[in-house]
Amino acid sequence: MGVPSFLLGGRRVVALVAMSAGVLAVAGCGTGAWPSNAGTSTSLPPTATTPNIAATAGACGLLTPAEVIAATGAEVGRVSYLGDGCVWERTQDGSDPVLNLQTTTTQDGDIATTFARRRAELADPTQNPGIGQASFVVSGIPGAVDWVQDGKMFDLRIMDSGPGVDRNAAALMLAQQASARVGQS
């Protein structure tokens, strides 16, 4: 039985020997006794929760966590600013998004042209939600509504919901609530 082939390169062997010598040298240091914990706390400090659940500026000010919970049936533990939008998340670590609301302004290009292109590509022709100056339900993506209002395009997507929730109905309700607050936040 020999040395594995991946360790046979000259630099690898030197690095392995140097690392082993360093570990052995450090292991021999000290008195051999473990440090005393006398007078010290053995518990970890409490972790701080993210305070932005009450985020109320920009897109985050268009819906409350309570409204998102009522519509989606999913708990909301965190609200986060994301670019020009907002994400309502189930967990504090941001790993489980419930709702995403993005805004696009005229700084991002011609809103009317962008909206018309998106509508032609994505709209469900059987639904006209009547939100803002123009709106559509995204075909093939349950819980997705886009609308234009006050020179901005809004893109609302339900990413997660409780069992039995009609994502399209929930998205329309949330879009109507958000639209009613555009210009107020």
Average pLDDT over residues 158-165: 93
Q: Which of the four pLDDT bands, split at 50, 70 and 90, describes residue 120? A: very high
Confidence of residue 92 (pLDDT cuts 50, 70, 90): low
Mean pLDDT of 5-23: 40
pLDDT for the residue numbered 185:
53
Is residue 139 within 8 A of residue 168, CB to CB? The reply is no
Overall pTM > 0.75: no
Q: Report how far residue 94's alpha carbon sits from residue 91's, in angstroms, rounded to the nearest whole number.
A: 6
Enumerate domains of the chain plus CATH numbers.
Answer: 51-181 (3.40.1000)
Q: Has residue 98 got a pLDDT over 60?
A: yes
Q: What is the DSSP letter of 44?
A: P
Question: What's the pLDDT at 87?
Answer: 93
What are the Cα distances from residue 76, in Å, to 6, 9, 26, 152, 154?
A: 50, 54, 48, 26, 21
